Structure 1
Amino acid sequence: MASQVVAPFAGRTPIEDIDIDPNTGYIYYTARRSGRCTIIEYSPESRRLRDILPKEFSARTSVHEYGGAALRCTPYGWLIFTDFKTSSVCSLVPGTGSVKILLPGRLNTRYADFEPHPLCAEWMLAVRETHSNTTVNDLVVINCTQGTSTVIASNYDFYSSPRFSPDGKLVCFLSWNEPDMPWTGSLLSIADWLEKGAIQYPRIVSGKLKSESVSQPRWGLEGRELFFASDASGFYQLYKTWGGLANRLILPGLEDRDFSRPEWVLGCRTYVQLSQEVMVACCTSLATDAVVLINLRDWTHRTLDLPIVAVADNGLVKVSDKSFLVLGKSPRDPWTLYVVDVSDSQKPTYEALPRGDHDKTIQKDWISISSLLSIPRTHGAACGLIHAIFYSPKNPYYTGPSDALPPLILSFHGGPACHSTPALDPKVQFWTSRGFAVTELNYAGSSGYGRDYRDMLDGHWGEYEVDDAVSIVSYLAQESLIDGSRVGLTGKSAGGYAVLQALTRDPDLWAAGVSIAGVSDLTELMRTMHKFEKPYVARLISGEARCSNTELESIGKERSPFARAASVNFPLLLIHGTNDKVIGKGHSEKMRDAVVSAGGCVKLVLFDEGHSFRMPENIVAAKQEEENWWVKYLVTNEMQ
């Protein structure tokens, strides 16, 4: 196997929130440092990065459990952030590093998605989540002078994206009710702002519960227009309101592109208006992102030539009327923050900001370049194409035997309403540098291919993704790209559930498996899942139509992997965080016990982490456990 050159670092972006001071042009973002989130300042004049958050604070939130939007610049020269440790809402003066608590934290109360009033420093909007016997989500206004918060909207189960109009007279926000997720059905509303810190006359502008998702509302620069994305056409397209009517931006050739994505985290930003005439937007096709420049006068557009095939959820920020920030990566480059200048729209220029130590580069001759696959389904009841991303082994110092095909690691992404991209992922390169082929499966239910594909998994969770895995492995084996007898399955969260389902449903097809924070008992998951995702679980199990609790429990039992643990005749590695609030460690413990009782080969490794691992030493240790497993059972075939 290969030497330890490609390190096992996580592939998700280490930058979690980005904003820019409208007065100074300084750029701020949150970055992970040894388990906490600090705030980094970038000065355009000095071109230097500076850590400005005192070490006793961590700028992070867990609203909806997945967080996002914990940092916001204000027009008044200070930053707003929420401290993960205390849940306090704080202000930070970058020049001095002084922190002031604007709203003291309370037990089991979380804040995020801040929106300062554009003309009055006293007021700020936010999303609040309170945990007691039940979880309550509200839209609140924070009085930054008095240190109080007041509920201004609470009629819906969930809220996000509160935004003031530029003149401060109007407020827009998103809301939705169970059993919806924000990407299955949501509403965009506008209300009048009262100077005493309240709203009145809320009215719905767009969206429809259970059938139309709206996302990312953003006021036009002069406040007369409100832009947003809607998937009413089957793809997230851009719209704007004018005179009370919502009109779609007709962009020829881009009708089958997604200009937004499922909002698992708060603060998504994949389009931004630069001037009255120009908007820049990320659009997705076949899980691949491109950045387009849109003329708002005549709706003409052009794709910018940038080294990017993936843009982060919070990836676009306006710098000036001729420039913007984009956080993206290519098949050869890791997450990079670029400043793009479109003064010459025919020949835009871009410059990469310093990375500091927040990401690791990989030598170019080690990188395995992705290949996009779209093939017909050959297994299961679903029809149409299945999508995947394939990587061949790549190591400049080692070549596999000429008469042998490489073992395959097939990866299921989490979500499941997410997708893998063809951009550089250190986790993938870790395996390809060690002689493994890798396939990232964008199974039925993945985003990045329009709403119909995303909705396919409803009612068929635990079925279609497994069928798709069988189809893609059969294809790769027939094309002599892999050794079909040495296939390992890996995945985290919903991906971990897919691993367990595949291993127990079709045990003779796979050689080994690794489930990270995976679900083993759907009936238990329905009882314990947090508020944000609980209706999603029911939708995935039963489909769009509601069914009785008895029916749900019956289907849940049928599709729970631990109930079929006796069929596990291959080695199974389970990895879980002891503090996982999304999928408790009991799922992996239950699966381990069931496999042990059946006499199977299983190992459970627990880490002092939550649902997403954040400590570098734990990320490395978990990857080393996984590597040892694959070497033992896919390379040396110790079970045979």
Structure 2
Amino acid sequence: MTTAPYGAWASPLDARTVAARDGRPAWVGFVGDDVWWTEPRPGEGGRRALIRRRPDGVEESVLPAPWRVRSRVVEYGSRPWTGTVTERGPLVVFSSSADQRLYAYEPDSGAAPRPLTPRSAAAGGLRWADPVLRPESGEVWCVLEEFAEERPTDPRRVIAAVPLDGSAAERRESVRELSDDRHRFLTGPRISPDGRRVAWLAWEDPVTSGAGTLAMVAEITAKGEFADIRPLAGDLGPGHPGGGAQGESIAQVEWATDGSLLCVSDRDGWWEPMRLDPDAADGGKAGGRALCPGRQEEFGGPLRTIGQRWLVPLENGTLAVLHGRGPKTLGILDPVSGEVVDSAGPWTDWAATLAAHGTRVIGVAAGPRGTYDIVELDTCTGRSRTIAARHTAVLDRAYHPSPQARTFTGPGGRVIHAHIHPPRHPEHAAPEGELPPYVVWAPSGPAEHAPPALDLEIAYFTSRGFGVAAVDHGGPTDHDREYRERQRGRPGMADVEDCAAVARALADEGSADRDRLAIRGGGAGGWVAAASLTSTDLYACGVLRHPVLDLAARATGGDHDLESRHPESPAGPPADVPDRSPAHRTDRITAPFLLLHGADDAVCPPARCERFLAGVSGRGIPHACLVFPGEGHGFRFADTRIRALEAELALYAETFGIARGDVPVLALHT
């Protein structure tokens, strides 16, 4: 055992290894008996590859580089593909990241993908997401997001039918609009087993807020049009026509095999599975029945991206569900008895993507000793197994973080949940009496949680002698409607307070060095980190990754549609909310910081970062800013991730007075 100061330990885990294995699989599905999903490839220009796994276990990347399968609907990325089997083999329809057009592809034919939708006069002005194939009618139905050049922050969204014969590739007029555009946000359609009805979700406020939602239903006519469109359940909440005092958020709708409509609703305070009668005359409220009442767990979550699934019906009438307080577990729900039987295995968190075929259920899951992989549950045998693991073991388990799930007390006595990752190295120990530096990771957005899963970024720091405190926004006992409502009128300030409470508690109990505390966050978490630097002198430094910096400007300054609406939901109208934005409080910053953002970020525009830096410049505050060409919101390129991680470590080393020779020196300006 070598004695060395905390933060100065030598680690076998370098930034290149972390970057190469960053991200997780997503958007699982079946095409016949084959399992398909999308997968990040940081080393291939950050593209999202479409992967196919045959029943014999053979995997292949279906589309070669530079094809990237990603939809930019609501900017965060929504379900980009669907597939079915025809007499010629698999038929897949996907959204291409490069031009946002829909393409049809038959991988067994040898032909190249062919476009189904037209190019837009505005870059990415036509976008498509959450597609559903209807080969019997020669169409694919999906969400269409259409931007007008004169109003780039105010798109139309409708459910549209795109011909599979390619006739709309040059003619926008060949796309049939099935719904109207009265609602600001929509999910893709869910078609009943008999093909006579369709359901979808519609709402007005940002998808991440958990605000009120409507479950819409319509009849499908013989011509393939929507008729008798009506809301079956849900409530848009205050401020919207017909909205109630509280609102009802529905996270998902899905048809059961018996023709009833399943939904995940927070009508009773928690997102729970319910069965609705589509023929109910009262909008479904009296006809709705909770399938497992009283569990006080979440079976859903806010629609951060369109196409998420926490529930899928199985052929025998049971349901595969994701549920829990904070991290999710895969279980099988008997809708008659209300019992839920959980699958066995080492997985402690499941992502909101599920698919079923026969007795097989697939999802994306991770555990404390492994990152997110494709997992299959055989409901006949009860056996779960990893069937596709892109992440191979790259680090001896002795270096893995050893997280401690803990609770802390925040303002007003509220409970704060966090995963505490102390420094860990099998061959290093700190000098007696030394306390470790700690980095507080702010939650990245509404209802986000810190999963108890292996995170190589955390291991990068803990194996070097830094502690990491990952604060949980969607805490295991507070992640319900009451918890979400506590943010209203206080945009992100509850998270600022929670992070500070955790940091102070770790210092007070002697687990962390009070003089070597840092805060770090990305996106909405970047706002928390920046607001923390402007509201307290608790932290010695901070790292702001593609941060939100100006709440008021988002409503008027040309941000994309989803973000421009954020102030109206968690904070009320901008005029009614005191401006706590870091961009307007730069005179209060006294600690060094590192700002990282993408040059093409439409969610948190670079102009906001430039104004923030202008407010700090010349005040003697050491800071650095790295701008990454070609990157949007969140970093996808391996080289970007390497540079960002090494720069973060360099900031901590410089601020805390730690000698490290394994990363480039960070040039700090004042």
TM-score calculated relative to the size of structure 1? 0.91
Partner of 1:234: 269
2:402 matched residue in structure 1: 369
2:262 aligned with 1:251: no
Q: Kindly tell me: are residues 329 and 460 of structure 1, through their superposed partners in 2, closer, same or farther at Cα, counting changes over 3 Å?
A: same
Q: Does 2:331 align with 1:302?
A: no
Residue type at the aligned position of 2:115: I
Partner of 2:210: 183
1:551 match: 576
For 1:102, the equivalent position in structure 2 comes to 116
What is the deviation of 1:365? 1.1
Report 1:322-471 matches (<5 A). 322-344=359-381, 348-356=382-390, 361-377=394-410, 379=411, 382-443=412-473, 449-471=479-501
SS at the partner of 2:490? coil
Matched, 1:30 2:41: no
Asked if the contact 2:447–2:479 (Cα under 8 Å) also holds between the matched residues in 1, the reply is no
**1:131-187 CA-partner distances (Å, limit 9, x unpaired):** 122311111111223433111112211111311112211111111124776721110
**Following the alignment from structure 1 to structure 2, what is the Cα–Cα distance between the partners of residues 467 and 207?**
32
Classify the secondary structure of the residue corresponding to 2:304: coil
Aligned positions of 1:103-142 closer than 5 A: 103-107=117-121, 108-117=125-134, 120-132=136-148, 133-134=150-151, 135-142=155-162
Are positions 1:621 and 2:643 aligned together? yes
**Cα distance change, pair 296–13 in 1 and its aligned pair in 2 (3 A):** farther
Separation of aligned partners in 2, 1:503 and 1:40: 42
Return the offset for 1:486: 0.8
RMSD: 2.3
Q: 1:209 to 1:329 in 2, by over 3 A?
A: same
Cα offsets for 1:360-390 (capped at 9, x unmatched):
643211111221122222x4xx442111111
Match of 2:649, SS?
A: helix
Give the alignment partner of residue 57 of structure 1, picking from 50, 67, 70.
67
Provide the C-alpha distance between the structure 1 equivalents of 2:492 and 2:91, rounded to a whole number of angstroms: 48
Decide whether the 8 Å contact of 1:444 with 1:464 is kept in 2: no
- Judging changes above 3 Å, is the alpha-carbon distance between structure 1 residues 156 and 121 closer, same or farther for their aligned structure 2 residues? same
Stretch deviating more after TM superposition (460-469 or 165-174): 460-469
Shift of 1:255: 2.0
Once the two structures are superposed, residues 104-154 of structure 1 have per-residue CA deviations (whole angstroms, 9 ceiling, x without a partner) of 33241101110112x615122110111122311111111223433111112
Q: Give the 3-state SS of the residue equivalent to 1:386 in structure 2.
A: strand
User: Contact 1:74/1:80 (CA < 8 Å) preserved in 2?
Assistant: no
In structure 2, distance between residues paired with 1:218 and 1:196: 23
- Shift in Å at residue 267 of structure 1? 1.3
SS at match of 2:231: strand
Instruction: Report the alpha carbon displacement of residue 298 of structure 1 after superposing the two structures with TM.
Output: 2.1
Count of residue pairs the alignment pairs up? 613
Supply the distance in 2 between the matched residues of 1:51 and 1:637 (Cα, whole angstroms): 43
Q: Aligned to 1:583, what secondary structure does the other structure show?
A: coil
Distance 1:260 1:180 in 2: 13
Of the three residues 495, 509, 519, the one matched with 1:479 is 509
2:9 maps to amino acid: A
What SS does structure 2 have at the residue aligned with 1:288? Answer: coil
Partner of 1:317: 355
| C-alpha distance in structure 2 between counterparts of 1:303 and 1:351, whole Å | 14
Structure with higher RCO (Cα < 8 A, 6+ apart): 2
C-alpha distance 562-233 of structure 1, shift in aligned 2 (>3 A): same
Indicate yes or no: 2:319 matched with 1:279: yes
Runs of 4+ in 1 over 6 A off after TM superposition: 444-448
Aligned amino acid, residue 658 of structure 2:
T
Matched to 1:235, the amino acid is W
In 2: Cα distance, 1:353 partner to 1:111 partner: 30
Matching residue within 2, 24, 28 for 2:9: 2
Deviation (angstroms), 1:597: 2.6
Instruction: Show structure 1 runs of 5+ residues with no match.
Output: none
8 Å Cα contact 1:180/1:535 also seen in 2: no
Q: 2:177 aligns with which of 148, 151, 171?
A: 151
CA distance in structure 1 between the aligned counterparts of 2:81 and 2:540, rounded to whole angstroms: 45
Matches of residues 509-548 of structure 1 in structure 2 within 5 Å? 509-527=538-556, 528-542=558-572, 547=573
Q: 1:458–1:383: structure 2 CA closer, same or farther, 3 Å change rule? A: farther
Counterpart CA distance in 1 for 2:553 and 2:226 is: 40
Could you say if the C-alpha distance between residues 447 and 361 of structure 1 is closer, same or farther in structure 2, counting changes exceeding 3 Å? farther
Question: Residues 144 and 160 of structure 2 are in contact (CA less than 8 Å); yes or no, is this contact kept in structure 1?
Answer: yes
Aligned pair in 2 of structure 1 residues 445, 259: CA closer, same or farther (>3 Å)? closer
Which 5+ residue runs of structure 2 have no aligned equivalent? 1-7, 169-173, 238-246, 661-667
Q: Closer, same or farther in 2 for the Cα pair 1:27/1:37, shift >3 Å?
A: same
Q: Is the 8 A contact 1:277 1:297 kept in 2?
A: no
Q: 2:250 aligns with which of 214, 218, 221?
A: 214
What is the aligned-residue identity percentage? 23
Task: Report the secondary structure of 1:120's partner residue.
Answer: helix
Task: Note closer, same or farther for the CA distance 1:28–1:121 as it changes in structure 2 (3 Å cut).
Answer: farther
CA contact (8 A) 1:418 1:446 kept: no
Q: CA separation in 1, counterparts of 2:535 and 2:209?
A: 32
Alignment-mate amino acid for residue 274 of structure 2: Y
Deviations 1:280-334 (A, max 9, x none): 211021x2221222123322222222221111122x21132x2211210011111
1:591 is matched with which residue: 567, 591, 612?
612
- Matches for 1:63-82 after TM superposition, within 5 Å: 63-76=73-86, 77-82=90-95
Contact 2:80–2:130 (Cα < 8 Å) also in 1: yes
